[in-house]
Chains A and B, each alone.
Chain A
Amino acid sequence: MTQVATPASLPTNMDRLELAFDGTKYKVERRGDAFFVRKRSEGGNSYGDAQQIVLVTGSHTLQVPWLETGQGRTLEQFPFAYIVAEKMWAPVTETFLMPPGLKDYYPIGAWNGACMDCHVTQGQSRFVEGNKWDSNVAEFGIACEACHSEGGQHIALNRNPIRRFKIYLTTKSDPTMTNPSRLRGPDSALACGQCHSVWAFNNMTDKIDFNRHGSGFRPGGHDLAQRFVVQPNTSDHSDQKDFIRRTEPGFFGNRFWGDGMIRVTGREFNGVQASPCFRGGEFSCISCHEMHLDSPGHPDVTTWARNGQLKPKMESDAACLQCHKDMSARLVEHTHHPADSSGSRCYNCHMPRTTFGLLHAMRSHQVSSPTVRESTVYGRPNACNLCHLDQTLAWTAEKLHAWYNQPMADLSRDDQTIAAAVQWILKGDAGQRVLMAWGFGWESAQKIAGRDWLYPYLIYSLTDPYAAVRFDAWKSLQTLPGFSNFSFNYTVTDSVLSEAAGRAYEKWLHEVRNPNAVYRPETLLDSNGRWQQDIFQRLRTERDDKRILLAE
């Protein structure tokens, strides 16, 4: 959502903020309730003209302020984002998974041309010329009409109290308003999917219409009007998808795994729509989530907001057992794990954390079953090895064959001898490495795979070229004994990073490491906790350095 920048909506202590990025220093000043930014080059003598911070876009996770430009309503990004949980500012480019050295992710006008498509209610970009926009919004926040459709008639008719009480006492439903909980599953989910999906315009005419007049979709509709939900492997909109492939070659790779499963957060509708559950016509976002805390049993607003805005108990198997009622009686038979273990939790196997955004891994919303093939062919960490971090792909293949009769895969020697997670964090691409950097801090996985051997991998990842990997390695390292207060700045230069990682390694090796710890050979650590250097160095050199940019 977007808010007008005020002392209440902006992070605290912003009036004393001084930051530097890419050769420019930024100084924030407060005048009354307004905040202004002045810039100067690092070699320069004085700060330039003040630009007012007018809006702030984000959520309870990350906030990005926007500056006036003097060009109509065109906005410029303040190049830093506020990470709410850490109470810290970081360059925006280092709060996404994007190649190092990329300096300008949101150019001037990006808010008008892209962000406001979803971060306001009924935005109209209204491009004028050059880099000038005359944008309008119905409301800055994600307000009632975003999910319940237009409210003009509803408001007019319901001025009559007799009408209101008649509805309360009879149908309890007002036909002048859309209620997603009363829609069929696909239509209900599309109300969320109008933003929470990868979408594209049908054609240039629709794009111009969207830009001028805003979205033609209204909740309750069966399609996105001027837009369509982009699923790489479906047969619809093939001309448009071919056009995208030609004009934006990285479009699909930046958003989807090779088999078409969504890999970025914020686009959950793509996953929901591709799930087998969706075919029943009942399954939708509000099967598990709710937006109003209507249900009894909510802990508190903060917990609800931090827990994916789930309904009470929906963080448990109850979410799936709403439909799969018979499964609770044969849970262990199905999972082959103890009933009270993390291996018997539906989410952990069928919605593993294989999407990434906002600096953390999130559960995939495409309900699926784990396979070795998804890892060997498409590179996506499978659910088994996301928990059994110390096991090989061959081990997983054997289990899946024995338990679910999955075909045995033809696996390389490394896949038979080295833990899959070790391979992903050392030689995977940045998308795999960041999932591992986050996953090594997952408590359930630590309980299963042990904690002792995770330290050197997380410390090693503190120097990863991708800032998001470094951030998650740092946060995961803080989950381990002896490092809970480990302070680390993940946005500094390579030499400072190396120095910090070196100190952390020495601390682990000499102060924290349990001398009696036993390391499985699949972890590549010898009995002294040191890497088997030949294999370790080989895997490092094999690292997949293709540029990864996850377009959240």
Chain B
Amino acid sequence: MRRPTPRVRTIKKNADRNLRFGWWSLLIFLSLGGALETLHGFKIGWYLDVGNEMRRLMFTLAHAHGTLLAVVNIIAGLTARNIERFELRPSISSALIWAAILLPGGFLLGGIVTYGGDPGLGVWLVPVGAVLLFYSIARIALDLSKLR
């Protein structure tokens, strides 16, 4: 039986990292969804009052984006594991993880302190995360296209 080369080990390590991150992230953001439902259930004014609409929107976006990006990380890890010759570069792996942190994290922080119709300062993390996400998805798409 052949032992994997260091390069293959690195690629597998990256894929595992995204898989692990993805599943933990999925757990966290599904839990956040449960927490938001609880706030609905107990009619918590800090979340539901008319004046807190921006907070509600931010938290909902954090939940949705966090869950979605967790799934994207899992898919990226599985793709790297299962498609021969495809490399999940370390920079892409990291960008994908940071996108999954910054994007929902920005929404979450932006919802904690709000300014009337605007979210809090944390929302400025969202465009940074969005750039990282765009970069990583584009790179994965390009790298997969080169395999043909």
Contacts and interface: CB of A to CB of B under 8 A. Distances in A.
Contacts of B49: 293
B51 A165 contact: no
A350 to B, nearest CB: 33
A161 B50 CA distance: 22
B121 interface: yes
Contacts of B50: 301
Contacts of A169: 121
A507 interface: no
A301 B115 CA distance: 21
Contacts of B37: none
For A161, A168, A292, A293, which residue has the most chain B Cβ atoms within 10 angstroms? A168
A164 B117 CA distance: 10
Contact of B118 (A165, A292, A293, A294): A165
A164 B51 contact: no
Contacts of B118: 161, 164-165, 168
B128 to A, nearest CB: 15
A1 B116 CA distance: 24
Given A292-B51, A293-B51, A294-B51, 11 more contacts: A161-B118, A164-B115, A164-B118, A165-B115, A165-B118, A165-B121, A168-B115, A168-B118, A169-B121, A293-B49, A301-B50
Interface in B40-55: 49-51
Interface residues of B, number: 6
B124 to A, nearest CB: 8
A498 B104 CA distance: 71
Nearest to B49: A293
Interface string A143-172: 000000000000000000100110011000
Interface in A189-223: none
A169 B124 CA distance: 14
Interface in A295-314: 301
The 10 closest A-B pairs by CB, nearest first: A168-B115, A164-B118, A293-B51, A165-B121, A168-B118, A292-B51, A165-B118, A294-B51, A164-B115, A161-B118
B50 to A, nearest CB: 8
A301 B43 CA distance: 14
Chain A residues touching B, majority SS: helix
Contacts of B121: 165, 169
Contacts of B115: 164-165, 168
Interface of A: 161, 164-165, 168-169, 292-294, 301
Contacts of A164: 115, 118
Contacts of A161: 118
Interface in B44-97: 49-51
Nearest to B124: A165
A165 B115 CA distance: 9
For A165, A293, A301, which residue has the most chain B Cβ atoms within 10 angstroms? A165
Contacts of A168: 115, 118
14 contacts: A161-B118, A164-B115, A164-B118, A165-B115, A165-B118, A165-B121, A168-B115, A168-B118, A169-B121, A292-B51, A293-B49, A293-B51, A294-B51, A301-B50
Contacts of A294: 51
Interface string B99-139: 00000000000000001001001000000000000000000
A144 B118 CA distance: 17
A294 B45 CA distance: 12
A301 B51 CA distance: 12
Nearest to A300: B45
A536 to B, nearest CB: 54
Interface in B6-34: none
Contacts of A165: 115, 118, 121
B130 to A, nearest CB: 15
A165 B118 CA distance: 9
A302 to B, nearest CB: 13
Nearest to B113: A168
Contacts of A293: 49, 51
Nearest to A292: B51
A508 B50 CA distance: 48
A200 B20 CA distance: 74
A292 B49 CA distance: 12
A294 B50 CA distance: 11
Nearest to B114: A168
For B51, B118, B121, which residue has the most chain A Cβ atoms within 10 angstroms? B118
Nearest to B120: A168
A169 B121 CA distance: 9
A251 to B, nearest CB: 41
A108 to B, nearest CB: 38
A335 B115 CA distance: 44
Nearest to B115: A168
Nearest to B121: A165
A292 B52 CA distance: 12
Contacts of B51: 292-294
A301 B49 CA distance: 10
A292 to B, nearest CB: 7
Nearest to A167: B115
Contacts of A292: 51
A399 B117 CA distance: 55
A164 B119 CA distance: 11
Nearest to A301: B50
A165 B37 CA distance: 30
A310 to B, nearest CB: 17
A165 B121 CA distance: 8
A305 to B, nearest CB: 13
A294 B118 CA distance: 16
A161 B123 CA distance: 11
A292 B116 CA distance: 11
Nearest to B118: A164
A164 B118 CA distance: 8
